[in-house]
């Protein structure tokens, strides 16, 4: 009797679980919010070559300080100047007919990310950082500094869109939907960095490049799963 009771309990539970997971229907929804970017991010590098590691680092530090001083004059805060990488690479000379390579010098590569909050000043900053010591500009992107509120707005639109589809199906098919038992979300719409060559763009040549900021679109896709009563 005990074994039979356990068997019936397990079997009933399995049937109940199957029913709750099988009798479901899912609806997708999409929400979009468009907003103008309020910051620009510039990725750049200071590259210095010298015979010794110390000399390369010292010269690179001087360039970095000059660059930082210039950015401060452009009203860029310390918190918006961030070193994202610092590497020292030995430079080798390889013998023509084999053998061990010899070190001929060292290269220091310091990568930085600069956040510009005054978008009207982006062109001037791009033009000035090269003269101040940066010799590689890797990318520029226009972003929204605090996108959480916009994501929340887009999410609300996406959920409303999915619920609208659910209500339409109830009326069209004549089913009755129960509670929501599953929710998933996917957020997209991140800005794509602009890559360009400093010389080809005229950076450092006076006046600065003309760079429109455009608009950013934040998209949230959700999926709601309902029980069918």
Q: What is the pLDDT of residues 83-139, one digit of tens each?
A: 999 999 999 998 888 788 999 999 999 999 999 999 999 988 988 998 899 999 888
- Domain encompassing residue 96: 39-145+192-211
Amino acid 190: pLDDT: 58
Residue 83 lies in a domain: yes
Question: Whole-angstrom Cα distance, residue 141 to residue 211?
Answer: 11
| Phi and psi angles of residue 215, each rounded to the nearest 5 degrees, phi first | -130, 155
Residue 224 lies in a domain: no
Task: Tell me the whole-structure pTM to 2 decimals.
Answer: 0.66
Amino acid 91: pLDDT: 95
Query: Looking at 12-16, 83-87, 146-150, 197-201, which range is the least confident one?
Result: 12-16
Biggest CA pair distance of the chain? 93
CA 221 centroid distance within chain: 18
Question: Whole-angstrom Cα distance, residue 189 to residue 84?
Answer: 24
Q: What is the dihedral angle through the alpha carbons of 195, 201, 207, 209, rounded to the nearest 10 degrees? A: -40
- The answer to whether the beta carbons of residues 65 and 199 sit under 8 Å apart is no
Instruction: Count structural domains, the chain.
Output: 1
Residue 174 lies in a domain: no
Residue 171 lies in a domain: no
Sheet holding 136-143, edge to edge: 81-93, 102-116, 39-50, 136-143
């Amino acid at each position: 009797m005990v074994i039979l009771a356990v068997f019936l309990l397990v079997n009933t539970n399995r049937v109940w679980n199957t029913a709750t997971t099988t009798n479901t229907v899912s609806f997708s929804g999409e929400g979009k919010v468009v907003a103008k970017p309020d910051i620009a991010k510039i990725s750049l590098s200071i590259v210095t070559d010298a015979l010794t590691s110390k000399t390369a680092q010292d010269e690179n530090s001087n360039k970095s300080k000059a660059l930082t001083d210039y950015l401060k004059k452009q009203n860029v805060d310390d918190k918006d100047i961030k070193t994202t990488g610092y590497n020292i690479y030995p430079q080798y000379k390889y013998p023509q007919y084999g053998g061990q390579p010899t070190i001929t010098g060292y290269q220091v590569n310091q990568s930085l990310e600069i956040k510009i909050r005054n978008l009207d000043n982006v062109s001037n900053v791009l033009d000035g950082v090269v003269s101040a010591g940066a010799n590689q500009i890797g990318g520029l992107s226009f972003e929204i500094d605090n996108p959480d509120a916009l994501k929340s707005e887009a999410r609300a639109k996406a959920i409303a869109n999915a619920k609208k589809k659910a209500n339409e199906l109830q009326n069209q098919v004549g089913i009755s939907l129960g509670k929501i038992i599953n929710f998933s979300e996917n957020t997209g719409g991140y800005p794509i960095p602009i890559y360009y060559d400093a010389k080809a763009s005229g950076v450092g040549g006076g006046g600065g490049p003309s760079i429109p900021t455009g608009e950013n679109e934040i998209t949230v896709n959700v999926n709601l799963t309902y029980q069918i009563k």
